[in-house]
Structure 1
Amino acid sequence: MDGKIEKVRIDKWLWWTRFYKTRSLSAKMISSGVVRVNARRVKKPSAEITIDDVLTLRHGKVVRVIKVLSLEEGRKSYDKAKKMYEDIEQIK
């Protein structure tokens, strides 16, 4: 293995990429059923995601569809976090 992350918990990734302010809020939103991975509802914050997964989540009053581009570890600045995913669609 070359040290690259292949899978990461979805609650951590959503917090790292600044979709939610805290990891506990990220976990709460996942448990409430508002997050989907590849069109399947996820209810466990421990569910793992990989590069190229498509996430659908409610972010405020907007539903966002995003593609995972990177699994870099740790909370990032806003500019770096935006490079970890690609916005596919936003539904208001």
Structure 2
Amino acid sequence: MTEDGLRIDRFLWFSRLARTRALAQKIAEKGHIRCAGRRIDRAHAVVRVGDVLSVPLPGGVRVLRIESLPQRRVPAKLVAEIYQPIESMDDGKR
């Protein structure tokens, strides 16, 4: 972890958006994640508190605001402290 940020792959894994760190790296390197509107195409891109991420996942695209940077993988019940969902791109389609 840097002084005020965290690698995107570690953030995805720590916040339980990806099952493994290897999967988190693949998700980041595909280039489909957006952070504050800019395309992320490398696993070592840094995210910070307050950043808004758009992350494509199997259940649909999730848009979320980072609330805190975890030091390690958090239990599922504490995920709400890590990020706040803003919207889901598949809302209203059903």
Please tell me whether residue 71 in structure 1 is matched to residue 63 in structure 2. Answer: no
Please tell me whether residue 20 in structure 1 is matched to residue 48 in structure 2. Answer: no
Q: Compute the RMSD of aligned alpha carbons.
A: 1.0
Q: TM-score by structure 2 length?
A: 0.89
What count of residue pairs does the alignment treat as equivalent?
88
CA distance in 2, matches of 1:19, 1:78: 10
Q: Are 2:64 and 2:86, in contact at CA under 8 Å, matched by a contact in 1? A: yes
Q: Are 1:17 and 1:82, in contact at CA under 8 Å, matched by a contact in 2? A: no
Q: TM-score by structure 1 length?
A: 0.91
Identity %: 31
CA distance in 1, matches of 2:80, 2:24: 17
Q: Provide Cα deviations, 1:4-30, integer angstroms capped at 9, x if missing partner.
A: x51110100110000000011011011
Q: Paired residue for 1:61?
A: 59
Q: Are 2:49 and 2:69, in contact at CA under 8 Å, matched by a contact in 1? A: yes
CA distance in 2, matches of 1:79, 1:44: 29
* Unaligned runs of at least 5 residues, structure 1: none
Question: What amino acid sits opposite 1:87 in the alignment?
Answer: P
Q: Secondary structure at the match of 1:67?
A: strand
Of 39, 42, 57, 1:41 maps to: 39
> Runs of 4 or more off by more than 2 Å in structure 1?
none
